[in-house]
Copies of this chain bind each other. A is one copy, B any other.
Amino acid sequence: MKDFFTTRHTVRQFTKDVVDDRLLTELIEAASHAPTTGNMQLYSVVVTRSEEGKAALAPTHFDQPCVSGCSVLLTFCADYNRFVKWCNQRNASPGYDNFQSFVTAVLDTVIFAQQFCTLAEMNGLGVCYLGTTTYNAPQIADILGLPAMVVPVVTLAVGYPAAEGKVSDRLPVDGIMHNERYHDYTADDIDRIYSLKESLAESKRFVEENGKQTLAQVFTDVRYTRQACEQFSKIYLDFIRNAGYSLPD
């Protein structure tokens, strides 16, 4: 069982086989039994199967091939809309138009999405998380017709794997675990923790292909730049506010 978890990996290329509607619904139903805050289930998932739907969403995910190449695209959204409608219909006064509630809904949403991911992988499907969801939330919301209080958080591309995937490296476990108190990292710790990753042929290729001196520079200068992080910070935070979650000063 543990081996399944340590050898799982992201799948970005899929066969043309369709993920059966009944299987998909069963997996989503099973995933909904994952933990959720106060059993409120503060999430929704929008299923995109149509070619038009995928084509509309593709640019919001920077045209990653797995968006058009997958069988089904699942956009997981933090959702207080349903719960607040229920409260209003039951003579209750909801106070969930704030940041804490948004965070709570995000936790529920990601727990649910990850449980779905595990279930899908256990059933022979391949899954790719699209982190671009928070970058282009306004366009995604527009395409999917999301009402107030519904915020896209993660998207999963799902299908049958087209090829053997590659298991990624991970940091040594003592690099992410702390005993009783957080022991901050010394320069030697950092060297040790990242040494395996830096020694991989794939990492060296990344550095070379991007004309950089270090692997860290590939992250800071190419993959996740300050300019992009700051731009998308503003877009996402504005979207959250406009969706009805106010932020204190």
Contact = CB atoms under 8 A, between A and B. Distances in A.
A221 B92 CA distance: 8
A2 B119 contact: yes
B30 A5 contact: yes
B181 A32 contact: no
Interface string A193-213: 110010000000000000001
Interface size class of A (residues with CB under 8 A): 35 or more
A222 to B, nearest CB: 10
Given A92-B219, A233-B247, A119 B180 contact: no
A27, A41, A49: most-surrounded residue (chain B CB, <10 A): A41
A225 B95 contact: yes
A90 to B, nearest CB: 4
A187 interface: yes
Interface in A3-19: 5-8, 10
Interface of A: 1-2, 5-8, 10, 25-35, 37-41, 43-50, 53, 77, 81-83, 85-87, 89-96, 98-101, 103-104, 106-107, 110-111, 113-115, 117-119, 122-123, 127, 129, 131, 134-135, 144-147, 150, 153-154, 167-171, 173, 175-182, 184-185, 187, 190-191, 193-194, 197, 213-217, 219-221, 223-227, 229-230, 232-234, 236-238, 247-248
Given A28-B176, A38-B224, A111-B117, 14 more contacts: A5-B33, A6-B30, A6-B33, A32-B176, A41-B170, A45-B177, A46-B179, A47-B180, A86-B194, A87-B220, A94-B219, A98-B230, A147-B184, A150-B182
